[in-house]
Structure 1
Amino acid sequence: MSMPTLTSSPPTAPPRRTGPGPSPSPRRARRPRAGLGSRTAVNGVLLLMSFYMLMPVTWLLLAATKDNGDLFGRPGFLLGDFNLFANLADLFAYHDGVFGRWLANSALYSVVGSAASTLLCLAAGYAFDKYAFAGREKLYGFVLLGLLVPSTVISLPIYLLASKAGLIDTYWAVLIPALANPFGVYLSRVFSDGYVPAETLEAARMDGAGELRIFFSIALPMMRPAFMTVFLFSFTGSWNNFFLPLVMLNDHQLYPVGLGLFTWNANLSQYPEQYALLVTGSLVSVLPLVLAFVCLQRYWRSGLTAGAVK
């Protein structure tokens, strides 16, 4: 008696293409897309934050078009009789043009002081990165400790030192303390590590170039984004600096624009005609910061991401 055998059906061949169309491909898994609700929520939060940050500037711009009567007689977010140009003329003519002097002082403190501070920071960061010397990391850590000390804490010791040196009521009393910028040193070292290759410096030394020439002719051009980034941060801090000039300066001819507007605000009860001048002066004092960020924002963005990718 013969045993039954199990027969398996022959494997089916894959279907052949019958037309000129492309061959069928397996369906790929689709990546999950972000929901419409989450994107709407994120954009809504960003819109609210933008509105919150721009609302004071918008009010300032609208208030600068009003005279003293319109400032108190009309709602804050309504245009006035467009007295902006008249307010600007009165602003720069008030007290023999003292506001223009304050703007020039702020430009001196911010531009000259920030340029010198930035160059010093780049040199220090370059030295900490490229030179090996005893106690380098300890000294670098000591410099970074300055980030933990608020500027108001050291204002009194700086005032005592400036008093001993006879620098009170001079430009140097504000310019010299602004040279110290621990964050600028940190950022400069990060840029030096990422933008200045050591092989280029070694090749320059083999060609007989000195260290100063290497720094100014090779390293400094490579660190141009670092210069603009540190300069922007230093410029913003110097332009908004208030407490140090308040401590160091007594002569109103040496005031920066922020301290000068503060003195006008303190005297509003005695000189109510300064309301429109104060609002217009506040608007003018904001414009240099806006222009600086608009012109240098690409360097600022590159500075924030420096060292993020290696």
Structure 2
Amino acid sequence: MSSEISLNAFRLFIAAFGALLAAHLLGLTNPYWAAMPVFVVAQPFREDILIRGALRILGTIVGAIIGFVTIHFLHEPWLVGAILVLTVASGAALAYWIGTIYSYGAMIAGLTCAVIVVPAFGGHAEPFQLAMDRFWCTLLGVLAVTLSTFLFTPRRAHKHPLRLDHSLTATAGRFITSGALVLLGFVGLIYIGGFLGIGFALALSIFPVVMGSMPNPAPMLKYMPAGAAIGVILGLIYRYIGGSFGLDQTSMVILAGIFIAIGSMLRAHPRTAPFGLDTNMIFLLSAEVGLPGHSLSLLAEGGAVLLAAGLIATTVYRYVLKIPALTPRS
């Protein structure tokens, strides 16, 4: 591994672990949310870090407001489901239509709405607490990655284009596909319920909005299943070690540093970067880093449900991309 790759991995580790530790010490409910932006906001060019960071915060605010208002004021399940489907599908479609780095805010708005509505509807959290927790964790993550990488990142020679030439037909296809998958997840949330139902609904909200927002999701469709599987396995190993040694939450956060270091190397190395992002995201999510956590058996079931939802989403999008009118323009 070259010294440049090693330094990039070290900076990612410092930012992700620092954000996680800060969120834990501040008593935020879901501290692993603070580490997640680091692996996405980090970019090869300085200007892109600022653009992604700003759009991450803006999208989080918009999505958090929609999610909070939905849960707080709507009490009919079908209304909550309708808003969730429309918000996530609109985020995916708008992001696809924009098509460049500027699409990130729309995608994050849809994703954030899901991570507030689904757990709150499932009865596992209070919506206002989730919304505020999401905002502060996002802010911590963006600040951490900016401070650790900005000065070491070169400037971009040319500005990003404002929009690629995406057809309205393809954009509508992303809206319908993402919306159908989110609806399937929400139905699962109602009929499965509990921890597994929430995991299924979250996965079928997060994967579709990310895939649907991409101008060409083919690389993600290829590498995501492997990255997700590695993330789940690492999460189970992490929880097994913690349980075997009876570690408290602070010790578990410190232990997570080892796994974040591994994930940072995967993300920084060109050969493993295509699935390194998914590995980090799924590890943090499936291992519930910074939380008391569920039993190892339940986390294993949750990981299986998450992988199943990911395979459903990738399979559907593979078929959708075979439709000429819905494929990305070259």
Q: TM-score, length-normalised on structure 2?
A: 0.28
Give the TM-score normalised by structure 1: 0.30
User: Highest Rg: 1 or 2?
Assistant: 1
